Amino acid sequence: MSNGFAAAAEKTRPRGSLTDPVRYPSGSAPGVLSKRAFLLILLTLLVPGSAQLVAGNRRLGRIALRVTLSVWTLLIVALVVLAASRPTLINVITNPITSLLLVVVLTALALGWAALFLNTLRLIRPVLLETGMRAAVVLTLVLAMLLSSGSLGYAAYLLNVGRTAIGTIFANGPAMEPSEGRYNFLMMGGDAGADRTGRRPDSLSVISVDAKTGQSAIISIPRNLQNARFSDDSPMWKIYPDGYDCGDECLINAINTEVTDKYKNLYPGVEDPGAQATLEAVSGTLGIKVQAYVLVDMDGFAKLIDAMGGIKIKAGGWVPISGETIDEANGIHGMPLGWIPAGDNTLDGYHALWYGRSREFVDDYARIARQQCVQQAMLKQLDPATLLSKFEDIVKAGTKVVDSNISASQLGSFVDLAMKSKGQPVSRLTIGPPDFDASFSTVPDFDRIHQAVDKLLGPAPAAGASGDSFRQPAAAPGPLSAAGPRPAAVPGTRPGTQPSPSPSSSDFTPVTTTPEGEPITEQILNDFKRNGDEQSIRNLVATNGQCAPL
C-alpha cells in the first residue's frame, strides 16, 4: 500500500526533479552532498530563506525572503536618510520609542535567522554526509549563524545599553535653539561625594560650537571667580543684582551649594537648581546664553577615559600626583604619590584625572589649561572607530554623568556637530592667565570679559536669528582659526595672548632637563621635596600648564 502511494508521488514530481541533488539529495554522491551542504549554508547566510525555497519548505522560504527584502529596503532607506540628513537618522535611533522598536525587531530577526540555520541543518541531513565532513559542515553552519544572527543579537543588546544610558543621562525636555548661531554647553567637573550638600564644581568651562560649521571654542572660568553676574532672567538676579558678592566665600563654584541649600524653591520643577543657577551665573559672567550643562563626577571622568583606551597628550612639564594634604590653607601636601612626566604621554583614567586636577607647585590657571587640553584630547580621540569598538564600555562609563539638561531628542544634531568639529582648530580663552592678569578673577571687569568673548566667538549673526538678549553684537574679527590672524589684545589683558588657539605639537618644547642640562627625574623632584626645597620644584615644573592633544 505504501509502495503505491510512493509511486503515485513520484509520478507527480516534475520531470528531472528526481535527479536534482539540491532538493532530493538521497542517492547522490558524497562529494555532491558536501557541496550541497555548503551551498545551503551560504544561501542562508547571504539570502535568508533562499535555502528553504530551493531545498525545503517553500512557504517558509517565501515568508523569509519577504522579510529579507523588507530589511534590505529599510537599509537602503536608512542609507538615503543618512546621506540626506544624518541628524534625522541618529534622532530616530536614539528616540526611546523607536529605539525600543528597533531592539525588538533586531531580536526577532536574530532569532528568526537562527531558526532558518537550524532548518537548513535539517535540510542538509548530516547523516547522508561522509563521516569526516559532518564536523566541518556543522562547524561552518555554527560560525555562519554566529556571524549573522549572533551579530544582530549583539547589536540589539548594544542598542538597548545605549537606550538605557540615554534615558539615564539626558533629559526629556524640549530641544534647545542656537543662541546667535551657536550652542553653548557648560561642562562642570566636581566631587559629588555623600559628605557634600549640593555639588561643588571644581572646574567650569563652556564649549561653544557653531551650529552650522561645528567650529568650536573652549572658555574656562576659574572656580575662584568672585562677584559672578547672573543673567537678567535668572531668579538669583533679584537676590544678587550687583553680582554674587558677599566676600571671599562668594566664589562662582559655591553657587551650586548655596542654591541647593537656600534657594531651590526659586526653581520649581528644575531637577538640579544648583547646576541651573551656576549655568545662569556663567551666562551672565560671559555675556552669552549658555543653553545646557553637563556635570560629571571625577570617578565617572576617569572611567570614561579608561573606556576609551586612554588619551594621548604632549605635556609641557612634569605634573605631580599629590599626596595627603598637610596644610589646606597654603596648599601644602606630603610626598607626591607619583609624577606624570613631560613629553608625549598616553594617560589612563587615573593619570588623566590627576593631570587635569593637580595644582601643586603651580597656580590654578595651569590646571585650567591642562583641563582644556584633556577635554580636547577626549573629543579628538573619540572617533567612530573607537566608539564602535568600545561602545559598551564607553556607554556604561557615560552613565557616570551626574546630571545634564540636554534633551535626548537633540542628540542627533549634537552628534552631527561633534563629527563636523573633528579636525577643526579649537580656540581657547581663560578668564585668568595667560589671557588676563592673575588678580583678575578677584575683581573682574565684565565689560572686558564680554569683549574678549565676542572676539573669540566672532561677530553675531544677523538680527533676529536668536531670541535672547545676552550679548550685543560687537565689531570684532571673525572666529579665530589656525590660519587666521590673531586679534588684538583686549585692554587689561596680556598683549598677544588673547584669545589663543589650541597649541599644536610644534608650538612648545617640553621641559625635560634642569637648567644645568641634567634630565629631570622623579628622584630629583622627590629629593627636592624631602629637603623642603619646593621653590626648585616650582622652577622645574613651571611649564606644566602647556599641553597639546596628540
321 located within any domain: yes
List the single range of 3-12, 103-112, 330-339, 388-397 with lowest mean pLDDT. 3-12
397 located within any domain: no
Residue 530 CB neighbours (<10 A): 8
pLDDT tens-digit profile of 150-169? Answer: 999 988 988 888 777 777 67
pTM value? Answer: 0.66
Of 123, 146, 169, which residue sits at a domain end?
A: 169
pLDDT tens-digit profile of 431-449? Answer: 888 888 878 888 889 999 9
What are the φ/ψ torsions at residue 500 (nearest 5 degrees)? -110, 140
Structure-block grid coordinates of residue 357? 586636577
222 located within any domain: yes
35 and 106 share one domain: yes
Partners of residue 210 on adjacent β-strands: 182
pLDDT at 146: 93
368 and 423 share one domain: no
264 and 181 share one domain: yes
434 located within any domain: yes
Q: Considering the chain, what percentage of its residues have pLDDT values greater than 90?
A: 26
List the one residue out of 450, 428, 328 whose CA is nearest residue 370. 428
23 and 141 share one domain: yes
List the one residue out of 24, 54, 61, 57 whose CA is nearest residue 40. 54
- CA 458 from chain centre, in angstroms, equals 26
In the DSSP assignment, the letter for residue 270 is -
Largest CA distance in the chain: 109
> C-alpha distances in angstroms, 11 versus 4, 5, 15, 26, 34?
11, 10, 9, 17, 28
Structure-block grid coordinates of residue 308? 576609551
Q: What distance, in Å, lies between the first and last C-alpha atoms of the chain? A: 83
- Which residue range is the domain that position 221 belongs to? 175-297+402-500
**Contact assessment for residue 298 and residue 190, using Cβ atoms and an 8 Å cutoff:** yes
C-alpha 336/C-alpha 523 separation (Å) is 11
> What is 46-89 written as a DSSP string?
HSTTHHHHHHS-HHHHHHHHHHHHHHHHHHHHHHHHHHH-HHHH
255 and 285 share one domain: yes
C-alpha 293/C-alpha 186 separation (Å) is 4
List the one residue out of 192, 194, 209, 212 whose CA is nearest residue 256. 192
433 and 286 share one domain: yes
Of 169, 194, 220, which residue sits at a domain end?
A: 169
396 located within any domain: no
26 located within any domain: yes
pLDDT tens-digit profile of 363-387? Answer: 877 887 888 788 778 877 776 666 6
Of 145, 169, 193, which residue sits at a domain end?
A: 169
Structure-block grid coordinates of residue 148? 549573522
380 and 452 share one domain: no
CATH assignment of the domain containing 452: 3.30.420.590
What are the φ/ψ torsions at residue 421 (nearest 5 degrees)? -75, -25
pLDDT at 131: 82
289 and 147 share one domain: no
Q: Considering the chain, what percentage of its residues have pLDDT values greater than 70?
A: 78
pLDDT at residue 65 tops 80 = yes
Partners of residue 325 on adjacent β-strands: 333
Helix (H) or strand (E) holding 386: helix 384-389
235 and 274 share one domain: yes
**Contact assessment for residue 533 and residue 459, using Cβ atoms and an 8 Å cutoff:** no
Task: Name the most confidently modeled range: 199-203, 413-417, 540-544.
Answer: 540-544
Mean pLDDT of the chain: 78
List the one residue out of 96, 106, 97, 115 whose CA is nearest residue 154. 106
Tally of domains within the chain: 3
The angle subtended at Cα 360 by Cα 356 and Cα 362, nearest 5°, is 90
pLDDT at 351: 93
32 and 84 share one domain: yes
pLDDT at 523: 92
11 located within any domain: no
Band (pLDDT 50/70/90 cuts) for residue 301 is confident
> C-alpha distances in angstroms, 209 versus 174, 420, 435?
19, 10, 21
Structure-block grid coordinates of residue 543? 611649564
280 and 411 share one domain: yes
pLDDT at 223: 83
2 located within any domain: no
pLDDT tens-digit profile of 399-441? Answer: 656 567 777 777 777 777 777 777 778 888 888 888 888 788 8
425 and 342 share one domain: no
The amino acid occupying position 375 is: Q
> What is the edge-to-edge ordering of all strands in the sheet holding 311-315?
343-347, 311-315, 547-549
Q: Residues near 489 by Cβ (< 8 Å), separated by ≥ 6?
A: 495, 496, 497, 498
pLDDT tens-digit profile of 206-257? Answer: 989 888 888 888 898 888 888 999 988 899 998 998 888 876 678 888 888 8
Angle between helices 96-124 and 151-169 (to 10 degrees): 170
pLDDT at 191: 58
pLDDT at 1: 42
- For the segment 54-72, the average pLDDT, to the nearest whole number, is 91
Q: Residues near 473 by Cβ (< 8 Å), separated by ≥ 6?
A: 454, 459, 460, 463
HSE (side-chain half, CA atoms, 13 Å) at 69: 7
